[in-house]
Amino acid sequence: MTQLAYITQGHSEYDDRLWEILDGSGIDPHEFLGLDYFSLAPFFVLAGATVAPEAHAHGDHLHVTGVRVTVSEDLEEGFFAAIPEILADAYSDEDEDDDDDDRISLN
């Protein structure tokens, strides 16, 4: 597994390739709770990554210390090809019907 990101409050670490894509996307990195690009976690999953929290509980209180984003080595290049397209589709202003793009399949 390759770690693409370790997201924490105030000090997130991103793979250089992923950071370049995210930084170039124009998406606000602090859309959600001040965690750099945390709001994009579902899109990371759709591009083939695994998102796993690091947390511990004190009775009924849960404390999340960070979130790891990883991808298996055989999916890494596909992830880097898919994530810009997924983000562009999700954050575009236009409602486009493009049934010709079959790079990402959910079946």
Using pLDDT thresholds of 50, 70 and 90, give the confidence band for residue 103: low
What's the token pair of residue 45? 């999953």
Residue with the bigger pLDDT between 48 and 39: it is 48
Residues in contact with 25: Cβ distance below 8 Å, sequence separation at least 6, in sequence order: 84, 87, 88, 91
Average pLDDT over residues 33-46: 88
Average pLDDT over residues 88-92: 89
Residue 34, pLDDT > 80, answer no
Residues in contact with 9: Cβ distance below 8 Å, sequence separation at least 6, in sequence order: 33, 34, 35
pLDDT given at position 104: 58
* Count helices and strands in the chain by DSSP H and E runs: 3, 4
pLDDT given at position 106: 56
Residue with the bigger pLDDT between 91 and 102: it is 91
**pTM of the model as a whole:** 0.80
Residue 21 and residue 30: Cα distance in Å, rounded? 16
pLDDT given at position 35: 78
Q: What is the mean pLDDT of the chain?
A: 87
Place of tokens 């690009």: 37
pLDDT given at position 100: 52
Residue 51 and residue 41: Cα distance in Å, rounded? 7
- Contact of 37 with 6, CB cutoff 8 Å: no
Average pLDDT over residues 95-100: 52
The type of residue at 36 is D
Place of tokens 């990195």: 29
